[in-house]
Amino acid sequence: MAEIVMFEPFELFNLLNQSSRVSRLAEINFLCLIDARETQDYRISHITTAQNIKTDSEGSFLLPDAVEVDSMQHVVVYDSNTSTLEEEGRAAECAQALAKASQYPVHMVRGGFQRFSALYPFLRTEKILYTITELENLKTYPVEIIAGLLYMGDQNQGLDSSILRDLKISAVVSISLSDTAESRSIKGNQTVLNIPVADSAASDLYSSFERICSFIGSHINMGSRVLIVSRRARSRCSAVTVAFLMHHLKYTLEDAWKYMLKCKPNVRPNTGFLQQLSDWELHTAGTKVTDISGPRF
């Protein structure tokens, strides 16, 4: 039987917004998201792509017909407002049923639909059935690095006024090829910090770390939300994100790296930026704690 663990709303938000070229929700074995509420509540509104689970005549939860739970990478369940593993309710009962079939931990969303939909109202829907094409074309949002404060995404997301509005972004750090190119196309009321750095191992990002960390820190310390973007959200913005986590949260390079990969597993700073992050660890911690020659890097 699989383990049952609590899942913070921002962790589900990040799962729903994983993408490569298209949304990962189109992958049949990526996410099994179960709404354990009563059917009438589910039909009024639910989290995007969630399936309502059925019960038998005795009220026991049944595994969803069209989903092979045992092959799913991520299994997540929510009810109206369950907040702890100790609470009895529909989410806990449903999680027990799913855990008997799953190979991976079953996650219960802390605060359930009420908390998630209050934080991310734009991810509520009445839509029940999706084609593969619809799943591939679902809008993806930047991933959330620090809940309610720091986000990381690609250049197109940084140019999307609806995304900036939905996430209430106040400031954008744009790491692009030049400060006269796409980074200046960001429109709206956001304060924009342009850092013209190419995604090359020979590029110098290190000399901008202090400026970037000061910019981000000044905004999030006031409770304002910041979005970090680069063209594909893979190398440059991930390096900057790691640098900020090391600076602001006093993480080692290894801890910041692991945390970033948990939020978005397909990102990777280039080798030059990785070396600069190692130098940044020396600057922020006074010593190089992390061995970047290890296989995890």
For residue 63, give the CATH number of its domain.
3.40.250.10
Please give the structure tokens belonging to residue 139.
Answer: 């809008």
Sign of CA dihedral 112, 117, 123, 126: positive
Calpha distance 41→37 (Å, rounded): 6
Same domain, 131 and 149: no
Question: Residue 53: what residue type?
Answer: I
Question: Which pLDDT score, from 0 to 100, does residue 177 have?
Answer: 76
Calpha distance 278→252 (Å, rounded): 9
How many other CB atoms are there within 10 angstroms of residue 130's CB atom?
16
Domain boundary among 82, 114, 136: 136
pLDDT at 150 over 60: yes
Calpha distance 108→84 (Å, rounded): 9
* Span 247-270, pLDDT tens digits: 999 999 999 999 999 999 999 999
Q: Give how far the C-alpha of residue 31 lies from the chain's centroid of Cα atoms, to the nearest Å.
A: 14
Q: How many domains does the chain have?
A: 2
pLDDT bracket for residue 212 (50, 70, 90): very high
Calpha distance 83→76 (Å, rounded): 14
Percent of the chain's residues with pLDDT above 70: 96
Give the helix/strand (H/E) hosting 172.
strand 169-176
**Residue 294 maps to a domain:** no
Same domain, 127 and 194: no
Going by C-alpha positions, the residue among 102, 101, 119 that lies closest to residue 110 is 119
Calpha distance 123→138 (Å, rounded): 11
CATH number of the domain encompassing residue 217: 3.90.190.10
Helix (H, G, I), strand (E, B) or coil at 95: helix
Cβ(254)–Cβ(187) below 8 Å: no
- Radius of gyration of the CA atoms of the chain, in A: 20
Q: Which domain holds residue 12?
A: 4-136
Residues 6+ apart with CB under 8 A from 181: none
**Residue 291 maps to a domain:** no
**Residue 295 maps to a domain:** no
Please give the structure tokens belonging to residue 89.
Answer: 């309710």
- Report the chain's terminal Cα–Cα distance, integer Å: 33
Same domain, 169 and 263: yes
pLDDT bracket for residue 189 (50, 70, 90): confident
* Span 165-183, pLDDT tens digits: 999 999 999 998 765 444 4
Same domain, 128 and 10: yes
* Span 8-43, pLDDT tens digits: 999 999 999 999 889 999 999 999 999 999 999 999
Torsion of CA 205, 142, 136, 110, to 10 degrees: 140
